[in-house]
């Protein structure tokens, strides 16, 4: 029998070389699934004042790094079609990701009349979604999903639980955050 309860009853050589020897009674060395062999899905999310948008996309790779082709053919058209339903004015704040600043992306946004701001490389992180990534991730992983379809459904369930008032509060807090950082560092640059 092998389990945390019975491990004390197992006698084996504890040296590193013997640790994973096949003749030792123990769990398999690679008992967790290989992440490279697991099916992945990626979701692009945008949060703003009374605004929350998310869309799954296929990155074409395992690390989720979006390329320009995916950005201008999947993500940006979806955002552009979603905005009329929300109304109001908007400006898309983008970091310096290569897909965001490529000449094809900037040309696409200019051609389609999509207003945007490209943050400077050393600017404070003004991406509201970055503030919410950890809570979203924690809640998402609190329940197992065995298929991509279940995963996407679970994400949207978690994403819909974000309260607009809390997102708006995060946005409202940014100016004070920047003022505190400026005052603390006496106007000098910081990592924030």
Would you list the DSSP string of 120-145? PTTS----HHHHHHHHHHHHHTTS--
**pLDDT band at residue 176 using 50, 70 and 90 as cut-offs:** confident
Question: Which among 77, 171, 82 has a CA at the least distance from the CA of 130?
Answer: 171
Answer whether 130's CB lies under 8 Å from 101's CB: no
Nearest to 90 by CA among 54, 74, 67, 114: 114
The tens digit of pLDDT for each residue in 36-69 reads: 666 677 888 888 888 888 998 888 776 778 899 9
Write down the pLDDT at residue 14. Answer: 59
What is the percent of the chain where pLDDT is above 90? 24
- The beta strand positions in 49-180, using DSSP E, are 51-57, 92-94, 116-118
Residue 1: predicted pLDDT: 44
Domain ranges of the chain: 40-163+176-184
Alpha-carbon span 73 to 57, nearest angstrom: 11
- The CATH number that domain 40-163+176-184 falls under is 3.30.420.10
Q: How many angstroms separate the CA atoms of 164 and 50, rounded? A: 6
Q: pTM for the complete prediction?
A: 0.69
How many angstroms separate the CA atoms of 93 and 111, rounded? 17
Q: What is the pLDDT of residues 61-107, one digit of tens each?
A: 767 788 999 999 999 999 999 887 777 788 888 888 889 999 999 99
């Amino acid at each position: 029998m092998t389990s945390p309860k019975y491990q004390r009853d197992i006698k084996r050589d504890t040296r590193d070389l013997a640790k994973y020897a096949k003749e030792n009674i123990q769990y398999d060395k690679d008992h967790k699934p290989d992440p490279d062999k697991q099916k992945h899905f990626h979701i692009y999310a945008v949060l703003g004042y009374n605004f929350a948008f998310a869309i799954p996309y296929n990155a074409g790779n395992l690390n989720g790094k979006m390329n320009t082709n995916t950005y201008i053919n999947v993500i940006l058209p979806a955002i552009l079609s979603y905005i009329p339903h929300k109304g109001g004015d908007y400006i898309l704040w983008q970091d310096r990701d290569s897909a965001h600043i490529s000449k094809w992306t900037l040309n696409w946004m200019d051609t389609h009349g999509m207003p945007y701001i490209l943050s400077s490389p050393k600017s404070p992180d003004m991406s509201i979604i970055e503030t919410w990534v950890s809570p979203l991730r924690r809640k998402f992983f609190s329940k197992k999903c065995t298929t991509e379809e279940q995963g996407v459904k679970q994400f949207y369930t978690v994403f819909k639980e974000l309260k607009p008032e809390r997102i708006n509060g995060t946005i409202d807090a940014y100016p004070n955050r920047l003022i505190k950082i400026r005052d603390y560092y006496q106007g000098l640059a910081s990592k924030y």
